[in-house]
Chain A
Amino acid sequence: MKCSISRRVIDEAEDPASLPYAAVSHLEGCASCRQFADERGRLRKLLLEPVRVSAPANFEAMVARRLSQRAVQRRPFWFGGGFYVTAGAAATALACMILAVQLSRSGRLAPMPTSTGAVVAESQPLTTTPKTNEVVIGPVSSGPGRLRNYIPRKPVYRPHPEKTGDVAGVATPVATMGGITDIAAQPRALLLVRNSGSERQILVPMVSVGAQPWLSVSFPAGEERGVRTSF
């Protein structure tokens, strides 16, 4: 083993008392490396000589006091820079929402393509003998004005060829919303619109979940009701 390697091994040893065999055998035959090892050992002892200091008796109390002082001195939230960033972001979001609502009301906002436009609903009156089996879908006079842009005007729907008669038994009730009396649907988007005097079944092949496209259903008695078709 070379002297440089031996000295590096001595210097970097985790435990100077247990050197590798190669280094120990080198030390036995090398006076300068032995002197180096002795110097390193004496230096280590010398560095450990200074007495170790202890923490003052009130150390924990001082830490606790500083912690409490720090809590008291903590600046209010609105003094921090983060507050202004948050407030600015919130104000921007609010302004965007107001602008979007205003654009929507004035009709300048293009309607989002939803399944409403592609809805081909076929209705089948569930009452025994309806006077007419047409369901007129168009603007709802009592509904929210902003929804008018989404609704095709007065398409005429024919009765479903397979679903004739009373199919109320296969429909699954869903929660009603707004002033709608009752809504029922099955997985194939079969809507059951029930009025006080009569019922209508509407088959909706395409359903936009969450978009709540608005349908207007006319009943034989001439009454017209709004229906949200989302599930």
Chain B
Amino acid sequence: MATVTHQAQAIGLGSTSVEAATDHELLAAIRDGDDAAFQEIMRRYRNPIINFVYRMLDDYERSVDLAQETFIRIYTSAARYKANYNFSTYIYRIASNLAISELRQRKRRKLVPLLSGFTDEHGDAVEMDLADGAPLQDESLIGDERRQAVARAIGSLPVKYRVAVVLRDIEGKSYDDIARVLQLSEGTVKSRINRARNLLKDKLGAYI
């Protein structure tokens, strides 16, 4: 601890320890090559990011892998970081982009067509994303059919709806934050979340 505080002073955080520093201060310290600041950023965000990616992918090992990649990108691009908005928004944007890329790669690897050719009442294509029947990584902890059903229902949502509803209803982000993360208008975000909830209500009708 004393070492950490000493390093914080050495990199210009003054008497503030890395634990008390803001995210922006930590990013500035990371830019100066301070590993303690990077450790602190990882300590703050590792679990939220892993959970977010896990809800997107339903694959714990891959979620940990992508969360690590997220932090690596934070570290390597710290010099280009601009504190225009919350660091939380920045890191969730990186993680969501990685998760979306992963989902798209998975779709390409599948042999069955993903688009059914049908559209919903709003004119959007409805994806026939079959629910993954493989057991969850934390099945021993969940042990509940309902939780599995929720995970499958989320996993069956189109990616653009899935990321929005996970950020809103599971991660508890505000509409404004979600709009910044996904680089969409707030109205589009609200619309997507509404559609995602309607789809989830249909899939989880037995549990609601």
Question: In the complex, which of the residues B39, B63, B170, B194 contacts A47, with contact meaning CB atoms closer than 8 Å?
Answer: B170
In the complex, the chain B residue whose C-beta lies closest to that of A59 is B46
Q: Is A55 an interface residue (CB 8 A)?
A: yes
Report, as a range, how many residues of chain B touch the other chain: 35 or more
Q: Is A166 an interface residue (CB 8 A)?
A: no
Q: Is B85 an interface residue (CB 8 A)?
A: no
Residues of A within 8 A of B144 (CB): 49
Q: Which of A62-70, A94-102, A116-124 contacts B (4 or more CB under 8 A)?
A: A62-70
A60 in contact with B72 (CB, 8 Å) = no
Q: How many A residues face the partner with a CB closer than 8 A? A: 27
Q: Is A12 an interface residue (CB 8 A)?
A: yes
DSSP majority for the B interface?
A: helix
A63 in contact with B151 (CB, 8 Å) = no
B147 in contact with A50 (CB, 8 Å) = yes
Q: Which of B108-116, B122-130, B200-208 contacts A (4 or more CB under 8 A)?
A: B200-208
Question: In the complex, which of the residues B55, B64, B197 contacts A55, with contact meaning CB atoms closer than 8 Å?
Answer: B64
Known: A51-B138, A52-B47. A43 touches B42 (CB 8 A): no
In the complex, the chain A residue whose C-beta lies closest to that of B46 is A55
Known: A43-B204, A47-B170. A63 touches B150 (CB 8 A): no
A128 to B107, CA, bound (A): 98
The interface bits of chain A over 24-61 (1 if a CB of B lies within 8 angstroms of the residue's CB, else 0) are: 00000000000000011011101111111111100110
DSSP majority for the A interface?
A: helix
B72 in contact with A14 (CB, 8 Å) = no
Known: A46-B150, A46-B208, A66-B68. A54 touches B47 (CB 8 A): yes
Q: How distant is A10 from chain B, measured CB to nearest CB, in Å?
A: 10
Q: Which residues of B contact A (CB under 8 A)?
A: 39, 42-43, 46-47, 50-51, 54-55, 60, 63-64, 67-69, 71-72, 75-76, 137-138, 141-142, 144, 146-147, 150-151, 154, 165, 169-170, 174-175, 190, 193-194, 197, 200-201, 204, 207-208
14 pairs across A/B with beta carbons < 8 Å?
A11-B194, A39-B208, A43-B197, A43-B201, A48-B170, A49-B144, A53-B47, A53-B51, A53-B138, A55-B64, A59-B64, A67-B72, A70-B72, A70-B76
| Nearest 5 interchain pairs by C-beta | A55-B46, A47-B169, A42-B208, A50-B147, A63-B68
